[in-house]
Amino acid sequence: AVERYASIREKPAETLDGRVISLQMNAGLMADLPSLEGSGADGVGLFRTELQFLVRNQMPRRTELAALYARVLDAAQGKRVVFRTLDIGSDKVLPYMKPQDEPNPALGWRAIRVGLDKPGVMRMQLQALLRAASGRPLTVMFPFVAQSEEYNSACAEMNKALERERILGHAIPESLDVGAMLETPSLAFAPDKFFEDVGFLSIGGNDLKQFFFAADRENERVRRRYDTLNVSFLSFIETIVQRCQKFDTPLSFCGEDAGRPVEAVCLAAIGLDTLSMRPASIGPVKSILRGVDLSQVKSVIDEARNRGEQSVRRAVVDYLRSEG
Ligand code: PEP
Ligand code: MG
């Protein structure tokens, strides 16, 4: 698939109406990194650090992690890598941690909730990231932030870790960009101050959609009832885009839908400028974006909404077909 799109690999995802969409890749293992070159991604928009924890049978040590993150940054050769801190719990259970007996793990003790309640591992991970980056820019993103206070507490941990590195006389990152994933509807309605403070936001569409429709992302039967291009969901994402625009908060989208061409076109049409997806999707998404006028797609979306359609998919697909 990567070969098929080789001719546009070095070209930007620039649309007919002049919007340039940044296409980034999702990664999590060292084996993913060669794709950064091969796919033509602008950077790693989501590095799922839990994968490194999941493939082991014991908790990795800080020195090991620091070496690993340094290799990730080396491989990226100056392209931005967004390291997402440990996102465990729910469907991702570490074999060497005490299993939690929870009736609803997806709504349970997971991700940042674990990191804040039992900060040992998060502190170790933040330290490892700071060491790995020493002298280079570092970007860190906290998963599953449901209210602004969780982001503030996580930032306080980051600042403590940074201070500790300073005291120990270690080189600190050249710059530090800290953001949050927007994966629960609640965060979209956080106070203005949160949007002003947060370094950037990334919509975790897989979880956000699951919680928006109250439909388990792992349960095919219910998951497939709800189209990502359902007008309710699309309008909700548009609201998030508009709040971010109001406060100049950089926003990206990193769920699986970003890698689906029709979905990607619609997300870009409602105002997203950065999409992060599996490497194999970058070619097809770039290819479709380069041939489309997003302002026209936006009109098609608005018209379908005004007609009261449940999903804009039919209208957008028909439009894309008619344009060839
Ligand atoms: C998401 O929820 O959309 C996301 C990108 O994170 P994950 O799939 O790892 O939960
Ligand atoms: Mg998620």
**Which of helix, strand or coil describes residue 57?**
coil
Ligand 1 near 72 CB (within 6 A): no
pLDDT bracket for residue 98 (50, 70, 90): confident
* CB distance 254 to ligand 1 below 6 Å: yes
Q: Report residues near ion ligand 2: CB below 5 Å.
A: 183, 204, 207
pLDDT digits (tens, 9 = 90+) for 2-30: 578 899 999 999 999 999 999 999 999 99
Site to substitute for ligand 1 among 44, 87, 202, 208, most atoms within 8 A of C-beta = 87
Mutate to test the pocket of ligand 1, among 54, 82, 183 (most ligand atoms within 8 A of CB): 183
φ/ψ (deg, to 5) at 106: -65, -25
Share of the chain above pLDDT 90, in %: 93
- Please tell me the distance from the alpha carbon of residue 253 to that of residue 309, in angstroms, as a whole number: 24
Q: What is the CA radius of gyration of the chain?
A: 20
- The one-letter code for the residue type at 30 is M
Q: Is the distance from the beta carbon of residue 82 to the nearest atom of ligand 1 less than 6 Å?
A: no
Residue 151's pLDDT band (cuts 50, 70, 90): very high
Task: Check if the interface score ipTM surpasses 0.90.
Answer: yes
Is residue 45 within 6 Å of ligand 1 at its C-beta?
A: no
Tell me the CB-side half-sphere exposure of residue 311, using CA atoms within 13 A: 12
Q: How far apart are CA 183 and CA 160, in angstroms?
A: 26
For the Cβ of 86 lying below 6 angstroms from any atom of ligand 1, the answer is no
Identify the three-state secondary structure at position 22: strand
Amino acid identity for residue 22 in this structure: S
Ligand 1 centre from 207 Cα, in Å? 6
Taking residues 130-141, what's their average pLDDT?
A: 97
Mean pLDDT over residues 314-318, rounded?
A: 98
User: Does ligand 1 have an atom closer than 6 angstroms to the CB of 205?
Assistant: yes
pLDDT of residue 79 exceeding 80, the answer is yes
Cβ(105)–Cβ(89) below 8 Å: yes
Burial class of 211 by CB neighbour count within 10 A (0 to 12, 13 to 18, 19+): middle
Element (H, E) at 261: helix 261-269
Q: Nearest to residue 279, comparing CAs of 24, 7, 11?
A: 24
State how far the Cα of 66 lies from the Cα of 72, in Å rounded to an integer.
Answer: 10
User: Would you say 109 and 101 are in contact if contact means Cβ atoms under 8 Å apart?
Assistant: no
Q: How confident is the model at residue 1 (pLDDT cuts 50, 70, 90)?
A: low
DSSP state at residue 7? G
C-alpha of residue 13 to centroid of ligand 1, in Å: 23
> Cβ atoms within 10 A of the Cβ of 281, count?
23
Beta strands 251-253 and 201-203, pairing class: parallel
How high is the mean pLDDT of the chain?
Answer: 96
pLDDT at 99: 83
Residues 292, 265: contact at Cβ < 8 Å?
yes
3-class SS string, 161-207: HHHHHHHCCCCCCCEEEEEEEECCHHHHCCCHHHHHHCCCEEECHHH
The answer to whether the pTM exceeds 0.95 is yes
- Mutate which of 53, 92, 181 for ligand 1? The one with the most ligand atoms within 8 Å of its CB, which is 181
Angstrom CA distances, 187 to 176, 183, 237, stand at 22, 8, 12
Q: Closest-lying ligand to the alpha carbon of 257?
A: 1
Which of 207, 267, 276 has the most ligand 1 atoms within 8 A of CB, as the residue to mutate?
A: 207
Q: How far away, in angstroms, is 51 Cα from ligand 1 center? A: 12
How far is Cα 78 from Cα 268, in angstroms, rounded to an integer? 26
Query: Which residue's structure tokens are 């007609």?
Result: 307
Q: CB of 309 within 8 A of CB of 26? A: no
Q: State both tokens at 2.
A: 């990567």
Alpha-carbon torsion (141, 142, 144, 146), positive or negative: negative
pLDDT at 324: 79
- CB of residue 283 inside a 6 A radius of ligand 1: no
Cβ-based neighbours of 24, under 8 Å, separated by 6 or more: 41, 42, 43, 44, 45, 46, 80, 82, 252, 254, 274, 275, 276, 277
